[in-house]
Amino acid sequence: MSAKHFAATFPPEIRDEIIDRVLDTVTTKSCTLVCHDWLPRARTNLFRKFTFPPNARSEYQPEDLSEYKEKLELLAEDMASSSISPPYSRIVRILTVRLPLLISRENLAFNTLISQLPFTNLQSLDFSSRNLDSTSLLHLLEKNPLLESLALSSFTCSSNHLLRLLSRIAAGRSSLQSLTLGVIPTCPPDLTNTWDSPFDASSTPLSLHPPRLQSLSFSTLSRPTCNLVNPKTWVLPFFTIPEHFFDLSSLCYLTLKSHVPRRYPIILQQCGPTVTHFTLTSFNRNFFGPSLAPSFRHLTKLVDLTLTEIFESKFSDTVAILKSILSVVIQRLEHLSLEFRTLYHWPSLDAESFGNNCLCEIDNLLDGFLQTGQIVHATSLKKLSLKIPTHYNMDETEIRAYFSATNANGRLSLEVSLY
């Protein structure tokens, strides 16, 4: 079948679906269809997602920096000068850039290179660098007006700098739907840097149509024992003056470190009423107190709750905390996901102890909620997902055996994942 006849016979969306399923083999490469239709489509699929460098290392030696910089420059030059149509700069929709951690503020050449990257059609950008040149990042963002997802992590800045950067991002990104802020340690302001000048909301851009976020994730407030971020200069402005930042009135997906709801109740007060999917990372009994339950009362539409990095140690205390949370959100909750974690230096753990002390406790807790006569409101809980480390040497059948009560009830679907 010729490419011309093929294109004229099928609607474009069906043709693209067929082309996407053609395998890259010697036979298909030799046919006319491949030459005229498959190669451009395959190129679009192949370069849709791009990561630089392809195999990022956690540590770089000083002598590696010149090579890294050279490759980044070549990448920008090659993409800008390529005659391929459509150009790679528009094909790439998902971009991940990991700058070496040893790059210091003096290595400004790396930061200015970011603004020279030729990408103009990005849908998602994941950027990590210890030292960030905010002006260069904004230049890159300006070239990508259709950006929907932005993730920033690892760089160090002052709270004033971070607020000013987020305000500038919000002012020009009406299409943005997802924002992720990884660990961003704060430092004292640099008086010589205009980005670090005292933050004044009245002097920041005012957006008539601020981005309406659907997903927000941040672990910037990362150390529960150290107040690295002043809530008066970071959290409160960000969550209380959306006209200078982001519209959170439609937020559905929220991810926080587990200590955050107690320390910053304003977050759930502002966002809770619309959140349907809530994730608490580093779930630890030490991060919760009597004020926890009132914060969760704002999650009036919550249907999916995920708790990660749960440890076996003193699990009875963890269950008590989980019970207090569920008692508040159980009426509408449909899916509960629990991810357990072990200390890496323990190659093998006691499976029986874990089953009796942890899994049975969860089974009994959920069975109590499923017995509608024991609670004021019937629960909507339909599914429990468990992620369990292979260090416990348990298979799925052994894990399921510890959920005899909920299995007998027949109302709860159990999903087990080993990692």
pLDDT value, residue 159: 83
Q: How far is CA 56 from the centre of its chain?
A: 19
pLDDT value, residue 47: 78
Phi/psi at 284 (nearest 5 deg)? -145, 135
pLDDT, tens digit only, all 419 positions of the chain: 444 544 555 566 666 666 666 555 555 545 555 555 556 666 676 778 888 877 655 555 555 667 777 888 888 888 878 787 778 888 899 999 887 655 555 565 666 778 888 899 999 999 988 777 888 899 999 999 999 999 998 887 888 888 889 989 998 778 999 999 887 767 788 888 888 888 877 767 666 788 999 999 987 654 444 444 454 457 778 888 877 789 999 999 999 887 777 777 888 988 999 999 999 988 876 666 556 677 889 999 999 999 999 988 888 888 988 998 998 999 899 999 999 998 765 656 789 999 999 999 999 999 988 885 444 456 789 999 999 999 888 999 999 999 999 888 778 999 999 99
pLDDT value, residue 201: 74
pLDDT value, residue 224: 42
CA-angle at 164, arms to 159 and 169, nearest 5°:
125
CA-angle at 248, arms to 245 and 254, nearest 5°:
115
pLDDT value, residue 141: 94
CATH class of 252-419: alpha beta
**Alpha carbons 127 and 107: distance in angstroms, whole number:** 17
Phi/psi at 68 (nearest 5 deg)? -60, -45
pLDDT value, residue 30: 52
Q: How far is CA 286 from the centre of its chain?
A: 24
Please report where in the chains the tokens 């989980």 appear, as a residue: 322
Q: How far is CA 282 from CA 30, 33, 219, in A?
A: 53, 52, 10
pTM score, two decimals?
0.83
Q: How far is CA 367 from the centre of its chain?
A: 32
DSSP string over 202-243: GGS---SS--B-SEEEE--S--TTS--S-TTTTHHHHHH-GG
Q: Looking at residue 374, what DSSP letter applies?
A: G
